[in-house]
Each structure stands twice: as C-alpha cells, then as structure tokens.
C-alpha cells in the first residue's frame, strides 16, 4: 500500500522530468472507504494537499461510467 508521501514522490519525479516541479509540491489523493489510496494526481494548480474520501456510491458510479 502506497502512502501519500510515496504518491508525492512519484508525481514529483514526473514533474521534474517535464520541468513543472516547484516547492512546495502538493498532491490530491482519493481514499477508498477502507482508507487505502485509490488514486492520485498533481498539477501546478494545487495550493495544498487534498484528500478526498470516496464512498461506496462513488466507486459504483465510477464502475458504471
């Protein structure tokens, strides 16, 4: 199971490769109902970390899209 910091490191590597890395570096993560990380993203537009708790309904909707 990856941590938020591991997701941050992953996205920081990508940002550095494409010359859009800057400090402080933030990520947005989505958590499964059990607290594990479902996914993550980072963009230059983030001004803080964002953690979004997904519900079972959210996951069901994403499966049906």
Confidence of residue 44 (pLDDT cuts 50, 70, 90): confident
Question: How many structural domains compose the chain?
Answer: 1
Looking at the chain, which runs of residues are DSSP E strands?
28-31, 37-41, 50-53
Section 11-27 average pLDDT: 95
| Portion of the chain with pLDDT greater than 90, in percent | 77
Q: Give me the pLDDT at residue 63, please.
A: 86
- Give the three-class secondary structure for 30: strand
Q: Give me the pLDDT at residue 24, please.
A: 93
Query: The domain containing residue 8 runs over which residues?
Result: 4-64
Please give the model's pTM, rounded to 2 decimal places. Answer: 0.82
Structure tokens at 10: 């992953």
| Portion of the chain with pLDDT greater than 70, in percent | 100
Q: Which residue has the tokens 């800057």?
A: 22
């Amino acid at each position: 199971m990856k941590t938020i910091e591991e997701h941050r490191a992953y996205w920081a590597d990508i940002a550095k490769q494409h010359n859009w890395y800057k400090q402080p570096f933030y990520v947005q993560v989505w958590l499964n109902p059990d607290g594990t990380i479902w996914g993550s993203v980072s963009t230059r537009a983030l001004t803080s970390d964002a953690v979004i708790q997904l519900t079972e309904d959210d996951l069901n909707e994403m499966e049906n899209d």
